[in-house]
A and B are shown apart, each in its own frame.
Chain A
Amino acid sequence: MIALEDVTKRYDSLTAVDGVSFEVPSGEVCVLIGPSGCGKTTTLRMINRLIEPTSGRIVIDGRDVMGIRPEELRRHIGYVIQSVGLFPHLTVAENVATVPKLLGWERSRYSPRVLELLEIVGLDADEYAKKYPRQLSGGQAQRVGVARALAADPPLLLMDEPFGAVDPLTRERLQAEFARIQRELGKTVVFVTHDVDEAIRLADRIALMRDGRLEQYDTPEALLDHPASKFVHDFMGADRALKRLGRARVADVMTSDVLSTTDGTGGVSRESCKEARFFYLTDDEGTLEGWVDCHVLDAGTSPEEAGTLVDWREAAVQPDTTLKEALSRMLGLGFRNVAVVDERGRLLGEVSLSAIERTMAEGDAHIANLPEGEILGVPPEEGVPPEARAQLDEGVQPEEGEVTT
């Protein structure tokens, strides 16, 4: 557990952090968020004593950090800095091994650990271990930065905009991987970001800061539903219901009960199709290749004509995808159902709009009770565009060739 008690940092006339107190229970992710210059980095860096507080106390698992030698403290706290900061003269493997070496681990202990970590962050160890930072893309470098912070298996992780400098797609993937790693490792994490969606997705609790002060510290749901001030409300954004969809994953609401065949449209049975929306077509490995639209089949069309071939990368979601992303995929495809595949495109099941609505309703009754005409509580003008809603309601086919590859 990390506890900040009335922590203040003053630079001459400027108060960068002003009387901030909060506690991060063990195993939870606390996201520090707020406008640029509000003191997020300063707060984070006081935890591992890269910055000394002017006043106040920081306590980790009952020990005041001021009583621990800074180097010693830092070796037991993983740290991902705002600009990655890999050592350009060392290989990826040597970069990751930095803290284990500082802690005096034998090579026989840290070598396998390094390879394991590269795999954990989604890099092929054989390919990347011997590369140098300049040979990496921005996203790969950030993965290495995360692996390096995790190297000595610290119980505590400080991450300063770890996915800041990458494109939205890579960012989305890195977030999904971080969420997966966090589910497996259960670290206590303090995570800084500018990005409200990122905060909502990853946080157990959000600390929203403004001008060095803590505006509100609570769960993402609470910040969305019960903002303590207008500032919090405005900062979190108006599309609250859509935002909270960013917290749930496809895995939570998907069904694996789907029809599929490996025999092409020839394997589609008209009978069973009556029960479902889609009959999925896969290859022998189970990789999603397309589907037959049962509504179209019902109308008397032949399976060949009712079939569509798709690229799973575009037409399906993965279990780690957020419901927000899944909904946006549905809108793009124009269906109320979307296939779920694993990272190699193998069909796992599907997720439906009604399932998304149901979980929302279960999780929070007032959303289900919203007046007619607001899908998921999103007023039409700010969430789902009306024409897309019409599509969803009628389940119309997308334009010819829209998703066909």
Chain B
Amino acid sequence: MSEPRRAAPILAALAGAVLFAWVVSQQEIWARVLAEVFPRAARPVYPGATIAELTIEHLRLVGISSGLTLMVGVPLGVWVTRPSGADFREVVATAVDFGQTFPPVAVLALMVPILGFGLWPAVVALFLYGMFPVVSNTVAGLEAVPRAAIDAARGMGMGRARILLSVEIPLAVSVIMAGVRTSVVINIGTATVAAAVGAGGLGDPIIGGINVQNMAYVLQGAVAAAMLAVVADSLLASAERLLTPRGLEA
């Protein structure tokens, strides 16, 4: 009965993603539009790589770092809400908080001597920077699970693992997903900085543009990154909606 309500925003998000992919693949269109906007620029289009190539690079960077954030952040959030990890809860909260307040540019600078230039220092910086929303939402989501539901589950003979998987996670999934969404969207924007250490992506035209004082370069990188963030946000919002159990829909 609520099928259409669930399907419409998801279809819209998918359509947005397809449209974005198409726009990004049309180097010609970018060239023409940029020529219009910057009529006096000699070379309005960033020559280093096509927008499509830059976007793919960007996605790879974000994919790896956000993937790691998820794989570490969610279990970390789960662990500190278990009896075995409860003692570490404050430490973890402080650490992820620090991870977010510490400027990513500084992390990049600190990582280069250790990991060299390229993808990896950027991955580390983004991984740390994105942890906070994932961990804190995982903890908040699990804490918000009604005590009575967990108590009833225990009283009926569910083991700890089963309670986590079939009661706590389903009840917390929308809050956890909201954290993931925030983390990924922040990551897409922050990842442009990573071009400074040679990680590539949509930060290349931005940083390149600043260096050669070509605002057309800056604009194309920024616009593509912004569009990517919007598309990712709506896709993740759809995923959040899909994963939210029926019984919890308002």
Contact = CB atoms under 8 A, between A and B. Distances in A.
Most chain B CB inside 10 Å of its own CB: which residue of A85, A86, A99, A133: A85
Nearest to A92: B247
Contacts of B151: 50, 81, 85
B155 interface: yes
Given A88-B171, A88-B247, A91-B247, A98 B156 contact: yes
B4 interface: no
Most chain B CB inside 10 Å of its own CB: which residue of A74, A85, A89, A134: A89
B155 A87 contact: no
B152 A85 contact: yes
A132 B156 contact: no
B248 interface: yes
A154 B157 CA distance: 13
B246 interface: yes
Nearest to B246: A132
Interface in B145-179: 146, 148-149, 151-159, 162, 167, 170-171
Given A132-B246, A132-B247, A89 B148 contact: no
Contacts of A73: 157
Contacts of A134: 247-248
Given A132-B246, A133-B247, A134-B247, A88 B156 contact: no
Contacts of A263: none
A273 B148 CA distance: 58
Given A132-B246, A132-B247, A134-B247, A86 B149 contact: yes
Contacts of A132: 246-247
A95 to B, nearest CB: 9
A71 B247 contact: no
A238 interface: no
B75 interface: no
A68 to B, nearest CB: 11
Most chain A CB inside 10 Å of its own CB: which residue of B156, B158, B159: B156
B2 to A, nearest CB: 11
Nearest to A83: B148
A48 interface: yes
Given A133-B247, A134-B247, A75 B156 contact: yes
Contacts of A48: 155
B177 to A, nearest CB: 14
Contact of B156 (A74, A84, A90): A74
A90 B167 CA distance: 9
Interface size class of A (residues with CB under 8 A): 20 to 34
Interface string A95-118: 000110010000000000000000
Contact of A71 (B149, B159, B171, B246): B159
Contacts of B171: 87-89
B67 interface: no
B245 interface: yes
Interface in B116-159: 146, 148-149, 151-159
Given A74-B157, A79-B155, A85 B247 contact: no
B152 to A, nearest CB: 3
Interface string A158-178: 100000000000000000000
Interface in A33-60: 45, 48, 50
A75 B154 CA distance: 10
Given A88-B146, A89-B171, A81 B247 contact: no
B152 A89 contact: no
A72 interface: yes
A79 B153 contact: no
B148 A71 contact: no
B10 to A, nearest CB: 20
Contact of A50 (B155, B158, B245, B248): B155
16 contacts: A45-B155, A50-B151, A72-B157, A74-B154, A74-B157, A79-B155, A81-B152, A86-B152, A88-B171, A88-B248, A89-B246, A90-B247, A99-B156, A102-B156, A102-B157, A134-B248
Interface of B: 146, 148-149, 151-159, 162, 167, 170-171, 245-248
Top 10 nearest A-B pairs (CB, nearest first) are: A85-B152, A85-B148, A132-B247, A74-B157, A89-B245, A75-B157, A79-B155, A83-B148, A71-B157, A89-B247
Given A90-B245, A102-B162, 9 more contacts: A50-B151, A74-B154, A74-B156, A81-B148, A84-B152, A89-B245, A89-B247, A99-B156, A134-B247
